[in-house]
Amino acid sequence: MEKSALDAILNRATVRSYLDKDVPDEVIEKLARAAQQAPFTGQMYAFIYTRDKEKKEILAKHLGRHLAQAPVFILFCMDFRKLEKFIAYKGRENKSGQVQMLFLGIQDVAYAAANMITAAEAMGLGTCFFGGAPMIAPLLTEMFKLPDRVYPVVGMSLGYPAVKPGPRPRIPTWCVLFKDEYHDLTEDEVAQALSVMDAGLIREGYYRNLGAKIPKPEAGEDTVDYDTYGWGEHISRKYARQAQSEILKQLLAEKGIVL
């Protein structure tokens, strides 16, 4: 590893531009082994990777246009099927409720995926997550032959960075780290935290460069341009417009995960 773990974590940033250089299988295997060392015993995950150009071009239309140019795409799946085979081998059956399984499965995948991107960063690689994977489960199921009880959680591009951005801003640590009890942010503290996030991303031209302005969820003229479109505006628009829970429940049910 070329960097310490702490350096890799603190300097990580999403990479969307990659060199025309392959990532060897042995490197991907090392990353998978690092992912497996994440906490928890259920290991309810599966990692499926591809270099297939046609598959990447199709996925780019649904997840992110730069994906087509990435050397490797990795799909992180929640894998109840494998766990239940281990349970059945011991003559038992899984009697855990589906909501409980969903929480534990997502935790398993998230910890493993976080380990993998930290290992990738330490080895000089770049990554980008695609959170829209759960909403295109039927496409991913067909493309990667996912059986029942295996559900896509997040996708990731992987490659050697052509451009390595610096770490992007986060809300101040005092907004998330509390001693002894939860602190409910005041309106002034919310404004202070947003000013930190907005200033850095607007100065960088982050959303402008991505062309990532979300349409205003309310009726009427949109008077916010990229000079004032920051993180606060982005997340407030994103979460004010989404109502996809019922769609997700249906997609999960189609894969044998009935909530």
Token pair in block for residue 222: 């949109």
How confident is the model at residue 241, as a pLDDT?
82
pLDDT at 189 over 90: yes
Percent of the chain with pLDDT over 90: 92
Token pair in block for residue 68: 């087509």
CB under 8 Å to 151, separation ≥6 — which residues?
77, 78, 105, 134, 137, 252, 255, 257
How confident is the model at residue 154, as a pLDDT?
98
More confident residue, 181 or 166: 181
pLDDT at 3 over 70: no
Q: Do the Cβ atoms of 170 and 33 come closer than 8 Å?
A: no
Picking from 16, 27, 116, the residue whose alpha carbon sits closest to that of residue 69 is 16
Percent of the chain with pLDDT over 70: 98
Averaged pLDDT for residues 67-84: 98
Domains of the chain, by residue range, sit at 5-165, 173-241
- CATH class in words for 5-165: alpha beta
Averaged confidence pLDDT in the chain = 95
Residue-wise pLDDT tens digits, 136-164: 999 999 999 999 999 999 999 999 999 98
Run of H or E including 46: strand 45-50
Q: How many CB atoms lie within 10 A of CB 57?
A: 13
pLDDT at 180 over 90: yes
Q: Do the Cβ atoms of 253 and 245 come closer than 8 Å?
A: no
How confident is the model at residue 4, as a pLDDT?
85
How confident is the model at residue 1, as a pLDDT?
47
Interior angle at CA 68, CA 120 and CA 160, nearest 5: 30
Owner of token pair 């730069």: 66
User: Rounded to an integer, what is the distance from CA 112 to the centroid of its chain?
Assistant: 11
pTM to 2 decimals? 0.93
Written in H, E and C, the secondary structure of 150-202 is EEEEEEEEEECECCCCCCCCCCCHHHCCCCCCCCCCCHHHHHHHHHHHHHHHH
Residue-wise pLDDT tens digits, 31-61: 999 999 999 889 999 999 999 999 999 999 9
pLDDT at 207 over 80: yes
Q: Do the Cβ atoms of 175 and 185 come closer than 8 Å?
A: yes
